[in-house]
Structure 1
């Protein structure tokens, strides 16, 4: 009990008490200076600080119009360059359309009307419409919401619910093998020379990036095409992705599917060889 009583009676350490008493004896600390020299020093410091602030404000005021002018010049330059880039892009689109039109005209001269139509369909040079299937492939919900971390941080993101380029390759190849006559992904017509690949995190079709969901349209016998694809190895592969990784898919038969023409078709010609083969 005596120890507790001593702690309660002497809550302030003796050293602190002695220091407080010593400061009190010497006068209040932190007050204004008493001597003339100290007062002059304080006044000089205040004047110097005010001078520095005043000079800085004056320089900032003088430099403000210059900075504003340089900023406006930079904005104007960006606007000019953007307009020039837009004009060049428009010119490229016009030239691309002209080239595509000339290529289609060259294909139409390859033979009779029936043969020309068939060549145009097979090469992707002409738009196609008719019965077919609509297949939508989308990332898993966990991948699109970003739950559990960023699925793009891993090189092999198949187990994170994201659709990969080789998944779409199998889907398209499965549709071709099931009897599709024309196929497009998100409005991009696929031809015999089309490439589906990945560039970083994006899926590219003929070097054009696509954004999920991926809508695949295929022209053909709707019921047979749908049944054959779902029963094929590629259809079962897509079903396995849905079951194991949560990738969302839906397939439906359509009475009229419209597939656009390919934006650029490379025209190639072939001639029969004049040399006789040996048996």
Structure 2
């Protein structure tokens, strides 16, 4: 009997014709909409809105501008409300300063009147004792009485280009800061001492009468005469023989020093003779340390 070929059993289900094209089948079965939906869901889970970035940036910018405008508006409103209060306080301070200044001027005037009255009574008392000439001479030399007569007028001023706190080193340094074309206290000391040495009988600087107890010092850029600040130009009046006093001062060491300041530092100075200059009395001439010499002391020291 002839043998039949073996029969092969076929699978239960039929095989898809596109089974070998799984990638293409996956693309066809799952559209790109699923990917977009998944990305949107992921952004939503992270707290992001579905708005485009450009729109979010514009909204953020708009919100920032609104906030800045609000801050500026609130600040302007507060400043407008506070402005009257500040102006009122400022005016009150100005009025207080003016009032105190007026009171100080009034007191100073009273002091001057009392000083003149005391000086007049002193002169009257000295005349009654026969010491009029000597008393007048002592009053003039000590600065206790006002004087007038021929003399010189010396005006010393800063250089035109003078400024405070110049940079760089300078050989002429005074009061701890470098020279910048400004008149210093040491300069005024030399000028005044030169006038005394040249024969001045009485000297005043900007109306401040100088005595044996006077001091010329510096406070910052200001020059103090008996603790009163002066401002340039500094006008020095000296009573004496005008022509002789002017010539002797300009030829003295202190006059040459002033001339050197003019040449090297631009300080301005002019001197002129005057037919009559008036000098006020010194504010106060009080000797606190000197003691009268007794007869016993004089015998012991002779």
Instruction: Give the TM-score normalised by structure 1.
Output: 0.69
Is 2:223 the counterpart of 1:206? no
Counterparts of 2:76 and 2:191, CA distance in 1: 65
Query: Higher helix share goes to which structure?
Result: 1
Counterparts of 2:255 and 2:197, CA distance in 1: 11
Corresponding residue of 1:38:
51
Is 2:299 the counterpart of 1:277? yes
Deviation at 1:136, TM superposition (A): 2.2
Gaps of 5+ in 2: 1-48
Preserved CA contact (<8 Å) 1:131 1:219: yes
Corresponding residue of 1:114:
133
Q: Give SS of 1:255's match.
A: strand
Preserved CA contact (<8 Å) 1:187 1:260: yes
1:68-97 Cα offsets, whole Å, 9 max, x none, are 343244234323432442243234323432
After TM superposition, list the pairs within 5 Å mapping 1:1-279 onto structure 2: 37-38=50-51, 52=67, 56=71, 59=74, 63=78, 66-105=81-120, 107-109=122-124, 111-112=126-127, 113-141=132-160, 143-144=161-162, 146=163, 150=166, 156=173, 160-266=180-286, 271-275=292-296, 276-278=298-300, 279=302
Gaps of 5+ in 1: 1-35
Preserved CA contact (<8 Å) 2:166 2:179: no
Corresponding residue of 1:27:
none
Choose 38-47 or 170-179, whichever is displaced more. 38-47
Preserved CA contact (<8 Å) 1:107 1:119: no
Which structure is higher in RCO with an 8 Å CA cutoff and minimum separation 6? 1
Deviation at 1:159, TM superposition (A): 5.9
| Structure number, greater radius of gyration | 2
Q: Give SS of 1:111's match.
A: helix
Preserved CA contact (<8 Å) 1:140 1:161: yes
Deviation at 1:273, TM superposition (A): 0.8
Deviation at 1:183, TM superposition (A): 0.7
Counterparts of 2:58 and 2:270, CA distance in 1: 82
Across the two proteins, how many residue pairs are aligned to each other? 241
